[in-house]
Chains A and B, each alone.
Chain A
């Protein structure tokens, strides 16, 4: 079955710097890769996603890149702000007909003012 590895587990950056979180997946049939942001005590919120027919997608300060050959995808946050501090989860579809997602273990991002 699908396995998703996420790195790093913690990331600390200065306000204004960029942050990059990387994930790898194992199932070549996976075709959907969302990223969720979870603030302390709250639900995960879908912030950006990418499908396998696209190599990059941007939404203001966040972007996601996908390398299908290498089976990895990354979240890029530019000009980080303190409110970007949260746990970020990547996920990959399991390639089955049910469309289940397999989640990474999360990255705790801290943005220091």
Chain B
């Protein structure tokens, strides 16, 4: 069966510091991968999606970036965090065009 991992689970970072969040998927190959952000008590905002290695599409302009160095690895990065980057970051995968399954998430607090 498929499993999705995210780390770290929680993170507290000062404003202006860099960020790297990692997501890996097991048990499938060539999945679609997604990064979402959820602000406290709010809905899901799609940040990036990828249909293959090195293929990244961005949904919203921001100071975040994403990379997919391996088939089942998806990384979310920032060079300098802003207070507004705080939130619950969720990675999701899908091996069909539309179904998506979420990872456990990373709760980021920027101070």
Chain A positions within 8 Å of B, measured between CB atoms, are 31-32, 34, 36, 42-46, 49, 89, 93, 97-101, 103-106
Task: Determine the distance from Cα of A89 to Cα of B92 in the docked complex, in whole angstroms.
Answer: 15
Measured CB to CB, the residues of B under 8 A from A are 32, 34, 42-44, 46, 49, 51, 57, 90, 94, 96-105
Q: Which residues of chain A are within 8 angstroms of B96 by Cβ–Cβ distance?
A: 99
Q: How far is the CA of A7 from the CA of B102 in the complex (A)?
A: 23
Closest A residue to B105 using CB positions: A43
> Hey, which chain A residues are within 8 Å of B101, CB to CB?
46
Known: A89-B44, A104-B43, A105-B43. Contact between A99 and B32, CB under 8 A? yes
The 30 listed contacts between A and B (C-beta, < 8 Å) are A31-B98, A34-B98, A34-B99, A34-B100, A36-B102, A43-B90, A43-B102, A43-B104, A44-B44, A44-B102, A45-B102, A89-B43, A89-B44, A93-B97, A93-B98, A98-B32, A98-B49, A98-B97, A99-B32, A99-B94, A99-B97, A100-B34, A100-B49, A101-B98, A103-B44, A104-B43, A105-B42, A105-B43, A106-B42, A106-B43
Given A34-B100, A42-B104, A99-B97, list of 12 further CB < 8 A pairs? A31-B98, A36-B102, A43-B105, A44-B90, A46-B100, A89-B44, A93-B97, A98-B49, A99-B94, A100-B49, A103-B43, A106-B43
With a CB–CB cut-off of 8 A, which chain B residues contact A103? 43-44
